[in-house]
Structure 1
Amino acid sequence: MHSCLEGIRLVAFDLDGTLIDSVPDLAAAVDVMLIERELAPAGAALVRDWVGNGSRKLIERALRYATGSVPDESTLDTAHTAFLEHYARAPHTRTRVYPRVKEALAALKQQGLILVLVTNKPHAFVAPILDAFDLADYFELTLGGDSLAQKKPDPAPLLYMANQFGVPGEQCLMIGDSRHDMEAGKRAGFRTLAVPYGYNHGEPIIASKPDLIVESLGELV
C-alpha cells in the first residue's frame, strides 16, 4: 500500500470529480433548466467549473451566468427544483467512473480500511449512482450535501464519519479533487490527498496544499 496510508484506518472519499466524472449528466440537466427559461445553455465546460458546492449553488451560478445577475430566492428555488427533476431522470447516463477507481477501492477495502463517502451532491442521487456503477458495496456509510446541516468545506461531515466509527482524525484520510475537500479535511484534522483531474473551479489543486497529490487513485495500491 502507498506510504500515505500508513497509520490510516478510515478513508473518506469525495464523489464527483474524484470517483466519477458526472459533469456530462449535470450539464445536460442544467441546460434543460436554462432552455426552459429561454436562456442560453451553459455547456459542460462551464458547468465543470461550477460544481463542488452542492446543487443549489450550481444552479445559482448557472442563472447568474445566463442572466448576468444574482437570482432572487424564489427564482432560485424554482430553477433548482426543475434541475433536480431533470437530473433525477438521468443521473448516470453519461457519467463515467474514472480509471482504476474500482481497483483502488477494492484493494483498500481488502486491507481492512473503513471506506466512507462524503459528497455535496444531494443524498437522493448518491445511491442510484453508486448502484449503477457497482460502487455501493465498498462504502460503510455515505453522506450527501443535505444529510447534515453543514457540508464541505465545513469539517462537520468528516467529523461525523470519524465519530461514527470511533476513529481519531489523525488516523483518517480525505481524498478529493477540490479546495473544499482539502479545507474540510484539514479542519477535521484528517490527512489530505488530492487528485488533479476533477473539478476545482479552474484552479490547480496544488494551491490548496494537500498532503499528497496522485495522478490516479490506482497509485494507492
Structure 2
Amino acid sequence: MQNFLFDFDSTLADTRDVAVIATQRAFEVQGLTPPERDVVVSYMGVPIEVSFAKMAAVPLSSTALEDLYTVFRAQYQEAEKLGITLFNGMATTLAALNERGAQLFVVSSKHSVPLQRNLDQVGLGTTFKAISGSDTVDHYKPAPDGILALVDRFHLDPSESVMIGDAKYDMQMGKNAGVSTVAAMWGAADPASVRAEDPTYILAKPADLLTL
C-alpha cells in the first residue's frame, strides 16, 4: 500500500473520554438529558450533525441543534486539556511509513479546525499530506466523499490506498470509495460491528500497518 487514510478519533489517538465528557457537558448546559457513556461511544465516528439529534431524548429544532453544536465545540476544546494521547506505537509507525515514501492522510468526522488542533496537540501537525474534515464534504461518513476528494486531488490509485478506522462507518466509507480497509482493533469500541463489515485487514496494533 502506498496511500494511508486514517480516521482520527480512536484510530490515531485515544479521544474517547474527551468526547464523552464534552458531549455530556454540552447536553447539560443546554438543559438536556445527557446521553449515557456507551451511547456517546457508539456514535463516535459519526459527525455531531448526525449523532446529536439521535442522542437527544426529545426532538430538537434546527436552531436548538446549532446551539448544541456550538456549546459542544467549546466544551470539547476545554475537555481536550484533560489529555489526548496517541496509541502506543503510532508515532513510530507513522514515521516509518513516511520514511518509506508512503502518502499519509486523515479523513475525520471532526471539523477541520479542531482536527488540525488535535493533530498539533499530539505532535502530528505536519505528519500528513492533507486532512479532510466534516466541513469539507457534502455527505458524511459512510459516504465516500472525504476519500474520493483526496483520491481526485492527489491522483491516488485506489488499488494502492487503504482506509484505517476503528468503527464500522470507516469500513463502509472505504468500501464505498473503492479502497481497501483496515480495522484498527486497538481502538475499536465495538469490535464485532467492525468485523461484520468484512474489512480487508484486521490489525491488532499500529505497527502491523508496516506489513501492508
For the criterion TM > 0.5, the same-fold answer is yes
Partner of 2:87: 98
Within 1, Cα distance between the matches of 2:189 and 2:176?
18
Q: 2:136 aligns with which of 129, 144, 147?
A: 147
Partner letter of residue 56 of structure 1? E
CA contact (8 A) 2:84 2:122 kept: no
Computed over aligned residues only, the root mean square deviation of the Cα atoms, in angstroms, reads 1.9
Q: 1:32 aligns with which of 25, 28, 39?
A: 25
Q: Deviations 1:101-150 (Å, cap 9, x if unpaired)?
A: 11111111111000011001111101111111111222000010111222
Partner of 1:192: 181
Partner letter of residue 151 of structure 2? A
Q: 1:78 aligns with which of 67, 92, 96?
A: 67
CA contact (8 A) 1:49 1:199 kept: no
1:116 aligns with 2:121: no
CA contact (8 A) 1:91 1:125 kept: no
Deviation, 1:39, is 3.9
1:138-217 map, 5 Å: 138-199=127-188, 203-217=192-206
Which runs of structure 1 show a deviation greater than 4 angstroms over 4 or more consecutive aligned residues? 199-203
Gaps of 5+ in 1: 1-7
Report the secondary structure of 2:80's partner residue: coil
Gaps of 5+ in 2: none
Deviation, 1:199, is 4.7
Partner of 1:23: 16
Within 2, Cα distance between the matches of 1:48 and 1:198?
11
Report the secondary structure of 1:121's partner residue: coil
**Number of aligned residues:** 210
Partner of 1:4: none
Partner of 1:5: none
Report the secondary structure of 1:136's partner residue: coil
Report the secondary structure of 2:181's partner residue: strand
